[in-house]
Amino acid sequence: MKKKIMAMVMGVVVLALSACGQTENPEENRTNETGGAEEIRDSTDEIQAIQNDEIQATQNDEIQATQNDEITDPADSDLAESTEDVPDSLTGAEMDFTCDYSEDIRADVDYVVSVSASLQDELESIERIILQKYMPLAEAAQTQGEMNVSSQWFFVIWDTELNSLWSRFSNSADQQTKENILAEQRNWIAMKEEAMLLSIGDSEENGSMYPLLQNSFLEEITRRRAYVLANELAKVKGEPFVLPEVSPKYGLFVDDQGTGSIYSSLVVQQAWEGGDEAIISIYRQGEIEGTFVDNGNGELAFTSYDGNVKGTIRINGWDGASFKVTETSGVFGFFAREEVEFPLAF
């Protein structure tokens, strides 16, 4: 996730330097604010819908190039070539950064659902819609405001797909299965804001780029959640479904102890200065930051910046991650040979 965000930030910096001296259009600011309000409404609607036991149907080349660091699609090479089940792309005059594409997206998702032979085909078609229809809008963005606005639609697409999956799951699953997944979904929603703060920081430290980073984060975690729910629906329907591969070294992992609040967290990412870093918080008692080295055997060797804590990080794909302390020198909250689990991969 962090690697993808860093790539977008670098693209924005390059664009900002090349456009130095230009005056930002006030219309873009109003558009950007509208985009943020729409996100808040989407999140609020989703929480309300889950409480009602029902969820309702509510950038650039670097973004796509780095997306596979988080989730690598099983049919990745086919996405750019296949045009089956994908509505026409936005072109020319249709690329309007002031336009609300929510209804278009809802229609696109409904169409894909209606023509897909399986859930696997459905998710792959959603990926193609993003790549072939809405990615050109993000690639055409010339200002920070346009980048912020265009990036929101990737999140809206996955949010719409997630709501559609939940509606079908809710109508198909037995009561006990439905209640179990509903509890998980409520906890996931409750932790979104806190998880976003852990991953990208707050608006003050990110300035005008914050909406772009926020949209990217929401897109990533909603995409993951859509795959999780599609997998659960596939089990109910008795059809095969393959989850895509995830990064073997980057991600955000948490332990909420079933409460919907983050008690422990593990963030493994690329540092802004280059190299890899990990931020580990255990039981809200202690937090450390440091670097790690990929041993190539599924283990990441961690060393805190002050050298007082060493340990081993294991990333278990969709099943979360863990951290085992191997050496410590009086750091509160971290004890030798202690192993902490982070079962939820955001």
Question: What is residue 39's predicted lDDT score, i.e. its pLDDT?
Answer: 42
Question: What is residue 95's predicted lDDT score, i.e. its pLDDT?
Answer: 73
Domain ranges of the chain: 2-246, 251-345
Dist CA 219 CA 155 (whole Å)? 4
Question: What is residue 94's predicted lDDT score, i.e. its pLDDT?
Answer: 64
Cα of 238 vs its chain's centroid, Å: 27
Closest CA to 11 of 155, 171, 205, 213: 213
Dist CA 129 CA 184 (whole Å)? 28
How far from 201 is each of 194, 308, 320, CA to CA, in Å?
10, 25, 22
pTM of the predicted model as reported, rounded to 2 decimal places: 0.75
Question: What is residue 2's predicted lDDT score, i.e. its pLDDT?
Answer: 46
Question: What is residue 335's predicted lDDT score, i.e. its pLDDT?
Answer: 85
Per-residue pLDDT of the chain (346 residues; tens, 9 = 90+): 444 444 444 554 444 444 444 444 434 443 343 344 344 344 444 444 444 444 344 344 443 444 444 444 434 444 444 445 555 555 544 678 888 999 999 999 999 999 999 999 999 999 999 999 899 989 988 999 999 999 999 999 999 999 999 999 999 999 999 999 999 999 999 999 999 999 888 877 778 889 999 999 999 999 999 999 999 999 999 999 999 999 999 999 999 998 889 999 999 998 877 889 999 999 878 899 999 999 888 899 999 999 999 999 999 989 999 999 999 987 777 888 889 999 999 9
Question: What is residue 271's predicted lDDT score, i.e. its pLDDT?
Answer: 81
Structural tokens at position 313: 């990080």
Question: What is residue 30's predicted lDDT score, i.e. its pLDDT?
Answer: 37
Question: What is residue 64's predicted lDDT score, i.e. its pLDDT?
Answer: 42
247 in Cβ contact with 70 (< 8 Å)? yes
Reported as half-sphere exposure (CB side, CA atoms, 13 A), residue 28 has a value of 15
260 in Cβ contact with 44 (< 8 Å)? no
Dist CA 336 CA 120 (whole Å)? 44
Determine whether 308 is exposed, middle or buried from the number of CB atoms within 10 Å of its CB (0-12, 13-18, 19+).
middle
